[in-house]
Amino acid sequence: MQIRPDDLLVVVDVQNDFCPGGALAVGEGDAVVPVINRLSQQFNHMVLTQDWHPAGHSSFATAHPGSAPFQTIITPYGEQTLWPDHCVQGTSGAAFHPQLATERAELAIRKGFRSQIDSYSAFFENDRRTPTGLAGYLRDRGLQRLFLVGLATDYCVHYSAVDARRLGFETIVVESGCRAIDLAGSLASAWSAMQQAGVQRIGDIS
Ligand code: VGL
Ligand code: ZN
């Protein structure tokens, strides 16, 4: 696929807690770093997202006595998976991977910072309607075609990609730049939801 001057690379949650040794480590999560660093050289536009939770966030199992990580609960905005404490604001776990080349990023958007609601997507919180502001930014800047990479394929990349399509952006997920958590078939269902939504899936960009 040919990269155009106004294509955007969206780098989702490449943070220490999602990498080996982190609080919510994704298998081979750090393997995306060299791939993303290479891709970033090919794009004129790059945006980062950063999972950024206050301590005691409602998506943490520790906020729900008697529950355990990876369990699902019902919240006012729907089902929510509970996670180990991760990406707490200001901690090293919430920092970008130290080898991630962030210099070329024109915007870093933080999400999940309201204690009562989680936010997987770069565009909407988990009620699927409260905007993060990213869509307005992209429209103002005239950026229309998005290439998504990062962590995790089946959660934040998946939700971001489906929402991007819903908002009318051309959306491509680059598989070599993603890794998944894969809880109970979540990776397969994420790919089918993305395909249904009209997200394109490519292996890599050479
Ligand atoms: C993510 C679970 C919880 C992600 C963030 O970045 O995919 N997953 N918070
Ligand atoms: Zn999170």
Range 149-177 average pLDDT: 98
Percent of the chain surpassing pLDDT 70: 100
Q: What pLDDT, in 10s, does the model give residues 27-74?
A: 999 999 999 999 999 999 999 999 999 999 999 999 999 999 999 999
pLDDT at position 165 is 98
Q: Whose CA is nearest to atom 8 of ligand 1?
A: 155
Contact at 8 Å (CB) between 152 and 180? yes
Question: Could you list the active site residues?
Answer: 13, 111, 156
Q: Whose CA is nearest to atom 4 of ligand 1?
A: 156
Q: Whose CA is nearest to atom 2 of ligand 1?
A: 155
Ligand 1 cavity residues, CB under 6 Å: 13, 18, 51, 83, 120, 151-152, 155-156
Its pTM surpasses 0.95: yes
* Closest ligand 1 atom to 12 CA: 6
pLDDT at position 158 is 98
Contact at 8 Å (CB) between 15 and 96? yes
Range 178-182 average pLDDT: 97
pLDDT at position 206 is 84
| Residues by chain with Cβ below 5 Å of ion ligand 2 | 51, 112
- SS3 of residue 194 by DSSP: helix
pLDDT at position 133 is 97
The DSSP letter of residue 100 is: S
> Ligand 1 mean position to 139 CA, how many Å?
25
> Ligand 2 mean position to 150 CA, how many Å?
14
Range 160-189 average pLDDT: 97
Q: What pLDDT, in 10s, does the model give residues 90-136?
A: 999 999 999 999 999 999 999 999 999 999 999 999 999 999 999 99
pLDDT at position 117 is 98
Split at pLDDT 50, 70, 90, the class of 185 is very high
Buried b (16+ CB within 10 A) or exposed e, 20-32: eebbbbbeebbeb
pLDDT at position 82 is 98
Q: Which of 119, 153, 115 is nearest to 134 (CA)?
A: 119
Contact at 8 Å (CB) between 113 and 53? yes
* Closest ligand 1 atom to 51 CA: 5
Q: What pLDDT, in 10s, does the model give residues 10-32?
A: 999 999 999 999 999 999 999 99
pLDDT at position 130 is 96
Ligand (nearest to CA of 151): 1
